[in-house]
Chains A and B, each alone.
Chain A
Amino acid sequence: MKDVNGVELGIFVFFFAAVTVVGFAAARWRRGQTLMHLDEWGLGGRSFGTFVTWFLLGGDLYSAYTFVAVPAAVFAGGAMGFWSVPYGAIAYPIVFLIGPRLWSVAQRHGYVTAADFVRGRYGSRALGLAVALTGILAMMPYIALQLVGIQAVLTVMGVTGSGLAKDLPLFIAFALLAAYTYTSGLRAPALIAFVKDALIYIVIIVAVVYIPTRLGGWGSVFDDAGAALAKPNPATGKPSGSLLTTDMTHWAYGTLALGSSLALFIYPHSVTGALAAGRREVIKRNAALLPAYSLMLGLLALLGYMALAHPGVSAAVRKAGNPQLAVPELFDQVFPDWFAGVAFAAIGVGALVPAAIMSIAASNLFTRNVYTAFVRPDATPEEETRVSQLVSLLVKLGALVFVLGFDKSLAINLQLLGGIWVVQTFPAIAIGVYTRWMHRWALLAGWAAGMVYGTVTAYGTSSPTQEHFGAPIADMPFIGRTGYIALTAFVLNMLVAVVLTVALRLLNVPGGDDETEADDYTADAPERLAAPEDPGRSLTGRAA
């Protein structure tokens, strides 16, 4: 394709190497007595304060999703791609409502995963298993999205080839990630998150201030992008998008935002990040602070318009036929080489941190809710941790399957596919922290209905480039508009769960034992020494 850009690649490799060193060193950071316990490896000792938790949970929104997939969606479809801004806003009232309660009950009962909670709340290993398997499945396309992001950066830097050589750099990056996740557990992404966010903030601020000045200001960015979107797409003969949502797309826009916001906090990696917090208050504060990330997400999304408005960039992206290249191409053409290298490092590291948290979350789920629950009920903490370490490697292999096997023409669809699945665990988890009214078998049946409907419907969608799993939106029955499949499936899930709960209660089918109590949901951590980043916290507070 084109030559390798030595300066960009050099800086990229430098940051990557530095992050790898930090990742391995993280095993020693704020170390507990042993790393061979799932609380330590998988939850960083449950000790993080507001500051670390902000970075850890923020890793969720600031991933390759933000930097590559969202701008690509805006580049390709205009206003429709902007739905992730309302998503990033309305997800946080939901976090505020369920996060603190889930944290409290988890720390009272030593739950490591959301599936642990579901099993304890409903006295049902089967329901716990359903939640765990859904979480693991949903993590894989999301991790795959991170890999697509790294791939996009490598492509623009000129690191391309054919056959195995094409994917080799990606495999190397991935192997490094796997290695330090294996040794350091959650401490690695938590520590790297500082480096990552520092890089990302610098790049974003420079990008949203500097690039519009090169393109004649924000006004002309929007005007030029709107003109570019209005041109008919050679493949379909219709305009590829518009600056505003239309009567056809209002529903899709709203349902994508709402469906995704239901998913945000119950994704296993969000739960992992939240349970690693040291105090209940930390979650509440973060629910109010984290929308700041969404503000940046919105500005980043507009990089898609800047790419459209820049003739050289949009031509290069269209020639390559891969909208994921929009932001990397923009950086490559607008920034001097050295700063483009920094920006690419930010994207690359920004993809690795979430990928690490996600693989840890998925392996915690497997260990606790599949292995310990069904295979080895008497597994020791050491054994649990060893299994988790191994599974974290397997999950990454699963993600590679999604990368190699799925259409990458719109990477955001990978995340939306994961969302269709994970939202089906919302009733058991999020409604479960408030009420035990739902019956365990009704929840299981609702989950099954939602999963089957969602998967079948998603399988049936096609796009110009792919026969199946082509789009996350489909016709919504009874409403007659196109909407996010996750939300339709969720409504079906809830209907089944409510109707069956009423029926099962009338028939007096045993509901299982609830090992939690009402005040578990509002409990705070037992008093202990202040975490280092909270030096001001009183040490002489009331006894728990």
Chain B
Amino acid sequence: MSTTPRARVPAARRAAAGVLLAVPFAVYLAVPSYAREDPRIAGFPFFYWWQLVWVVLTAACIGGSHLLTRTRARPEPPAPPAGSAGPEGPAGSERGEEE
């Protein structure tokens, strides 16, 4: 319940996030490793489909890194309507104004 806006992210998660961000560089800069014709997929030589697939995987790496390093768990849920305490009432009462 500290009031500092940024809780520290555990070192292990930060390291994992860093690795995720480094992976696309390792993949793409190893040019000779994918300068190959075969195997083809749907007519695309390996050189082309491999790089296009990794565009999507790069997005996934960044998204994963984002999830690992988020300091606020998630946007605060809207306040429950008055009177309708959730099914797990006691847990709900724990929730204060601050995270």
Question: Which A residues form the contact surface with B (CB < 8 A)?
Answer: 79, 82, 85-86, 88-90, 92-93, 96-97, 217-222, 243-247, 250-251, 253-254, 257-258, 284-285, 287-289, 291-292, 294-295, 298-299, 302, 519, 522-524, 537-538, 540-542, 544
Contact = CB atoms under 8 A, between A and B. Distances in A.
A43 to B, nearest CB: 23
B29 to A, nearest CB: 5
7 contacts: A89-B24, A93-B65, A245-B35, A254-B29, A258-B25, A524-B5, A544-B5
Contacts of A524: 5
Nearest to A521: B6
Chain A residues touching B, majority SS = helix
A80 to B, nearest CB: 11
Given A222-B43, A540-B79, A90 B25 contact: yes
Contact of B52 (A250, A287, A295): A295
A85 B51 contact: yes
Interface of B: 5-6, 21-22, 24-25, 28-29, 31-32, 35-37, 40, 42-45, 47-48, 51-52, 54-56, 58-59, 61-63, 65-66, 75-79, 97-99
A517 to B, nearest CB: 13
Given A298-B55, A542-B99, A243 B6 contact: no
Contacts of B62: 92-93, 96, 287-288, 291
B60 to A, nearest CB: 8
A209 B45 CA distance: 18
A283 B42 CA distance: 35
A245 B59 contact: no
B52 A86 contact: no
Contacts of B79: 540
A89 B75 contact: no
A19 to B, nearest CB: 29
B43 A218 contact: yes
A261 to B, nearest CB: 9
Most chain A CB within 10 A, of B24, B28, B44, is at: B28
